[in-house]
């Protein structure tokens, strides 16, 4: 699957990964779909163009759901993740000037030097 048409990839992956999409939206970099897969709330993210985010599904998967969301499926340019609720955009929190809240969210309130975070 190539990066040529993000909308086609989105539709194809939703079908192949057995996701019923309830709501979707588009950002400048990706297509996002919220839905269900086998009773689990999920988010399908399809990256529009090859770039920094292209392999982010594999990077998140490497954390094994420690200090980040669990990745259910991934490939270049796409990932299917469990949906966390409430699901607040960290970008919006930073824009509001609350960098500390983002750091606390990403570390579970612990210091970044905490050995538990580096597992």
The class (CATH top level) of 6-86 is alpha beta
Residue 118 has pLDDT above 60, yes or no: no
Reported as a single tens digit per residue, the pLDDT across 6-15 is 999 999 999 9
User: Residue 61 pLDDT more than 90?
Assistant: no
Which helix (H) or strand (E) covers residue 79, if one does?
strand 78-82
Phi and psi at residue 44, to the nearest 5°: -100, 125
Enter the pTM of the model: 0.72
Domain with CATH 3.30.200 in the chain: 6-86
Report residue 29 as tokens.
């970099």
| pLDDT, greater one: 97 or 13 | 13
How far is residue 9 from each of residues 46, 112, 117, measured CA to CA in Å?
A: 7, 36, 34
Contact yes or no for 6/47 (Cβ under 8 A): yes
**pLDDT band for position 102 (50/70/90)?**
low
Residues 42 and 50: their CA atoms lie apart, in Å, by 23
């Amino acid at each position: 699957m190539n990066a040529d048409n993000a909308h086609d990839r989105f539709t194809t992956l939703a079908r192949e990964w057995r996701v019923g999409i309830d709501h979707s939206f588009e950002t400048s970099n990706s297509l996002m779909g919220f839905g269900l897969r086998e009773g689990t709330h999920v988010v399908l993210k399809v990256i529009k163009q090859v770039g920094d985010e292209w392999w982010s599904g594999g990077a998140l998967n490497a954390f094994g759901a420690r200090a980040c969301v669990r990745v259910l499926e991934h490939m270049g340019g796409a990932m299917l993740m469990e949906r966390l609720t409430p699901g607040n955009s960290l970008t919006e929190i930073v824009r509001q000037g609350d960098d500390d809240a983002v750091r606390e969210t990403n570390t579970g309130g612990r210091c970044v030097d905490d050995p538990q975070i580096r597992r």
